[in-house]
């Protein structure tokens, strides 16, 4: 087990730099100083009168003599008013062994600093060093005192402060103090003085990307304050950054038509005239010049937007149709349904999950969700075009044109939403009795419906959009496409077309096209829309089901152009033989561990890896260890951690790892994991994650919002890691009150 402050356990370290206020001893860490408890009378201290910054003495520890030396890095120091200097004290011992190292640690924790005349000198502290700053002309002495058992070690430095040529740290000046950016826009903020050592920070890291004064707006909208801090002088400056979204219309144009794309924001101080359109090299479907967009070739395109050299996180969607074409078909939208997470189910008839620690189950499920989420994002980049909309939709464009007294166009597309999933538990044993556990999707439920968008003919901009209800369909067939995850190993889809107004329809033995690739899909021919429940098989379930393609040729949506009939391009061939992709490779590991004592350090362990399942590339997790390994346990009162010897961790901190990520946990006197606020014996407050999200009980660090208030918990310097900063300024420049709440 690693201790909370890892340097306490480095028994090979014989030298330790001591700051004015060192981190308190690790509470309940299991570290004892048995090697130094029976200390005999020491040999008298000796110190050089000429060098008060050096002191040596011999101390008898556990029956052996040890020669200790305390030394200050400076014996005399001259400063001018406003100047800074650093003082460090070093404590060493000969021989260098575990006993002397423990004694050094004990002395270090009790080190005291004193200035004879605080009116002459300011002393500021951090974890390992002391900074002294001249306040006014005069002389004083700074003394560091440590005790090795009952032996006092005092070393001092004579400091002289003069007033000539007063050096005052200059204020920081930024080239801009208030900036408005668009998502994706990048600017450079210059700092004076130029030669300073600066630290840049923003409270919300996913709001801006900052590197050496280069600021890039990400996709979040709002206002944040950037703080620039001189690491040497402590001076700070701030810049307010506001990110606003840029808006524009999407377009339906005919070949040869040109439009001037208009951009807008909700701010009057944003110069949208500086925005220009951009398309990838080699794109010949549309042509751009400034904000002028010209349709050149039938198809659907995404046109980028730039400002200067910055490519913005904004696209203009453009569909181009043939001259005179009034009804078109656009590619489908593939998205995740808002209720997806509440519509999942795990089938575990053999109780495999019950044989394993409940701690791992939410993490396994989260991995399954993440895999589907990643697939949805990639599937949304594919172009799936439905067929048959113009003939099947009872929609009168003429009625719209009469109402608007303008010529209009319409475009149809299919919206496909992943609504739910069922999983099975897959396990297997290898030669080392490792248990592989993964969740593999056996059923996916999609909601699908047709959608219409109406555009002005002259300017190409959107006029209206709406969902097409089943009552607006005339019964003629519509062919559309549902993407299938590449990690589905089976070759056939069995589809139940659910319906509120009609009987459920079975669509059997639908062959998965481009099987095992990121472009895999099935083709369905329907006369109405609703939910589609899809299960998977390796064999056909009906002997007379033919090729398993419902659409005749089984052609893909491909990248075919939209046109008069709304037909799609491509040859219609399937992607290969339907073989599965890959064998699955292993990777990564992470362990749970720790022990209840600092001695043995014995622990249980686990690891994760990616492995094959059913011949495909399903992700799984492997847990290594024996039945006697350390492990989590839960009862009606909460979570406990059981050591390999079947005892429980009590009244202590312990560091545990999961999935290659470590976190500190606190267990109370009864051995139960602490959640929420915790106060240690030194008066430091901590917060242990109270959410059941797979990291419950883990000590938080950095900024954390609790009950609507923001708090900062130390990451490195200034006190114990994880302790609450109170009535001070955080490392990134924000003030917090006596309760640790950010003062806004």
Comparing 14-28, 121-135, 195-209, 411-425, the range with the smallest average pLDDT is: 14-28
Radius of gyration of the chain (CA): 35
The CATH code of the domain at 250-325 is 2.60.40.1080
pTM of the model: 0.47
* CA dihedral (646, 650, 655, 659) positive or negative: positive
Task: Supply the mean pLDDT for the chain.
Answer: 77
Say if domain 54-162 classifies as CATH 2.60.40.1080. Answer: yes
Tens of pLDDT, residue by residue over 481-514, are 999 999 999 999 999 998 766 678 889 999 999 9
- DSSP-derived secondary structure letter, 570: S
Assigned CATH class of 631-743: mainly beta
The confidence score (pLDDT) of residue 49 equals 46
- Which candidate, 10, 232, 19, places its Cα nearest to that of 716? 19
Helix (H) or strand (E) holding 317: strand 310-321
Tens of pLDDT, residue by residue over 139-181, are 999 888 888 888 889 999 999 999 865 567 789 999 999 999 9
The confidence score (pLDDT) of residue 21 equals 35
Overall average pLDDT of the 456-470 stretch: 89
Tens of pLDDT, residue by residue over 437-449, are 788 899 999 999 9
Query: Virtual CA dihedral for 661, 662, 663, 664, nearest 10 degrees?
Result: 170
Overall average pLDDT of the 650-660 stretch: 80
Comparing 79-93, 473-487, 629-643, the range with the smallest average pLDDT is: 629-643
pLDDT band at 268 (very low <50, low <70, confident <90, very high): confident
Comparing 189-198, 656-665, 695-704, the range with the smallest average pLDDT is: 656-665
The confidence score (pLDDT) of residue 369 equals 81
Residue 464 scores a pLDDT above 50: yes
Q: Are 252 and 409 in contact (CB under 8 A)?
A: yes
Residue 599 scores a pLDDT above 60: no
Residue 306 backbone zone (phi > 0: left; psi -120 to 50: alpha; other: beta): beta
- Report in angstroms the alpha-carbon separations of 401 from 265, 404, 454, 564, 694: 30, 5, 10, 20, 56
pLDDT band at 558 (very low <50, low <70, confident <90, very high): very low
pLDDT band at 263 (very low <50, low <70, confident <90, very high): very high
- Which candidate, 489, 519, 513, places its Cα nearest to that of 582? 489
The confidence score (pLDDT) of residue 20 equals 36
Query: Virtual CA dihedral for 293, 296, 297, 301, nearest 10 degrees?
Result: -20
Residue 371 scores a pLDDT above 60: yes
The confidence score (pLDDT) of residue 6 equals 39
Write down the architecture of domain 173-243 according to CATH: Sandwich (2.60)
Residue 634's φ and ψ, nearest 5 degrees, are -130, 140
Q: Which two tokens stand for residue 610?
A: 């990616």
The confidence score (pLDDT) of residue 559 equals 35
The confidence score (pLDDT) of residue 441 equals 92
- Please tell me the distance from the alpha carbon of residue 101 to that of residue 98, in angstroms, as a whole number: 5
Sequence spans of domains, the chain = 54-162, 173-243, 250-325, 333-428+436-539, 631-743
Overall average pLDDT of the 671-692 stretch: 89
Query: Virtual CA dihedral for 64, 90, 199, 221, nearest 10 degrees?
Result: 30
Helix (H) or strand (E) holding 60: strand 54-61
The confidence score (pLDDT) of residue 648 equals 85
> How, if at all, do strands 408-429 and 435-456 pair?
antiparallel
Domains 173-243 and 631-743 share a fold: no
Q: Which two tokens stand for residue 215?
A: 């600021």
Residue 339's φ and ψ, nearest 5 degrees, are -100, 15
Stronger pLDDT, 195 or 37, i.e. the higher one: 195
- DSSP-derived secondary structure letter, 512: P
Q: Are 99 and 62 in contact (CB under 8 A)?
A: yes
Determine whether 416 is exposed, middle or buried from the number of CB atoms within 10 Å of its CB (0-12, 13-18, 19+). Answer: buried
Residue 87's φ and ψ, nearest 5 degrees, are -115, 140
The confidence score (pLDDT) of residue 598 equals 31
3-state secondary structure 18-45: ECCCCCCCCCCCCCCCHHHCCECCCCCC
> How, if at all, do strands 222-230 and 236-243 pair?
antiparallel
> How, if at all, do strands 333-336 and 408-429 pair?
parallel
């Amino acid at each position: 087990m690693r201790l909370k402050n890892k340097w306490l356990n480095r028994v090979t370290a014989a030298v330790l730099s001591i700051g004015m206020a060192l981190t308190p001893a690790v509470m309940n860490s299991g570290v004892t100083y048995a090697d130094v408890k029976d200390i005999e009378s020491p040999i008298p201290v000796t110190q050089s009168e000429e060098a008060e910054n050096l002191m040596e003495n011999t101390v008898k520890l556990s029956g052996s003599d040890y020669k200790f030396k305390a030394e200050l890095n400076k014996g005399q120091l001259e400063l001018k008013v406003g100047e800074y200097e650093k003082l460090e004290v070093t404590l060493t011992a000969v021989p260098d062994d575990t006993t002397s190292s423990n004694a050094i640690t004990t002395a270090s924790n009790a080190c005291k600093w004193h200035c004879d005349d605080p009116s002459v000198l300011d002393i500021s502290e951090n974890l390992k060093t002391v900074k002294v700053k001249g306040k006014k002309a005069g002389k004083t002495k700074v003394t560091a005192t440590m005790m090795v058992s009952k032996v006092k070690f005092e070393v001092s430095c004579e400091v002289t402060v003069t007033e000539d040529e007063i050096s005052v740290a200059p204020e920081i000046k930024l080239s801009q103090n208030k900036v408005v950016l668009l998502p994706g826009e990048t600017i450079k903020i210059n700092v004076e003085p130029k030669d300073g050592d600066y630290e840049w920070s923003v409270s919300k890291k996913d709001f801006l990307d900052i590197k050496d004064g280069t600021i890039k707006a990400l996709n979040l909208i709002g206002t944040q304050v950037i703080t620039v801090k001189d690491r040497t002088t402590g001076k700070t400056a701030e810049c307010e950054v506001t990110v606003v979204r840029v808006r524009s219309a999407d377009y339906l144009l005919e070949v040869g038509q040109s439009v001037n794309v208009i951009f807008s924001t909700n701010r009057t101080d944003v110069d949208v005239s500086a925005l220009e359109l951009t398309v990838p090299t080699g794109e010949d479907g549309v042509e751009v010049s400034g904000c002028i967009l010209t349709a050149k070739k039938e198809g659907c395109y995404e046109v980028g937007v730039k400002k200067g050299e910055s490519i913005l996180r904004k696209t203009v969607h453009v569909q181009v149709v043939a001259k005179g074409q009034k009804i078109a078909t656009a590619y489908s939208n593939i998205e995740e349904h808002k209720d997806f997470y509440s519509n999942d189910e795990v089938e575990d008839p053999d109780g495999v999950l019950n044989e394993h620690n409940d701690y791992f189950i939410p993490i396994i499920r989260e991995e399954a969700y993440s895999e589907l989420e990643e697939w949805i994002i990639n599937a949304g980049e594919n172009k799936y075009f439905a067929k048959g909309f113009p003939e099947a939709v009872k929609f009168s464009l003429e009625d719209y044109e009469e109402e608007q007294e303008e010529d209009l166009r319409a475009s149809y597309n299919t919206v496909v939403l992943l609504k739910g999933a069922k999983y099975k538990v897959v396990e297997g044993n290898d030669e080392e009795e490792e248990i592989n556990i993964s969740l593999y999707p056996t059923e996916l439920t999609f909601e699908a419906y047709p959608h219409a968008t109406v555009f002005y003919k002259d300017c190409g901009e959107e006029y209206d959009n709406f969902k097409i209800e089943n009552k607006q369909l005339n019964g003629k067939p519509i062919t559309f496409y549902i993407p299938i995850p590449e990690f589905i190993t089976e070759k056939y889809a069995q589809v139940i077309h659910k319906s509120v107004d009609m009987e459920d329809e079975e669509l059997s033995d639908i062959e998965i096209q481009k099987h095992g690739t990121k472009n895999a899909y099935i083709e369905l021919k329907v006369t109405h829309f609703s939910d589609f429940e899809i299960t998977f098989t390796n064999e056909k379930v009906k002997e007379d089901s033919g090729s398993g393609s419902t659409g005749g040729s089984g052609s893909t949506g491909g990248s075919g152009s939209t046109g008069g009939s709304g037909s799609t391009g491509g040859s219609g061939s399937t992607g290969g033989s339907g073989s599965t992709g890959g064998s699955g490779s292993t990777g990564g590991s992470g362990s749970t561990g720790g022990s209840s004592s600092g001695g043995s350090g014995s622990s249980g362990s686990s690891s994760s890896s990616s492995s094959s399942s059913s011949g495909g590339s399903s992700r799984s997790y492997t847990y290594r260890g024996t039945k006697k390994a350390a492990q989590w346990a839960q009862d009606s009162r909460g979570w406990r951690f059981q050591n390999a010897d079947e005892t429980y961790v009590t009244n202590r901190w312990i560091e545990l790892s999961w999935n290659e990520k470590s976190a500190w946990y606190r267990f109370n006197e009864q051995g139960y994991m602490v959640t929420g606020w915790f106060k240690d014996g030194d008066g430091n407050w901590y917060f242990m994650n109270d959410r059941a999200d797979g990291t419950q009980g883990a000590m938080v660090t950095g900024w954390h919002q609790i009950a609507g208030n923001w708090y900062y918990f130390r990451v490195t310097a200034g006190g114990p890691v994880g302790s609450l900063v109170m009535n001070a300024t955080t490392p990134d420049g924000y003030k917090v009150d006596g309760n640790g709440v950010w003062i806004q």
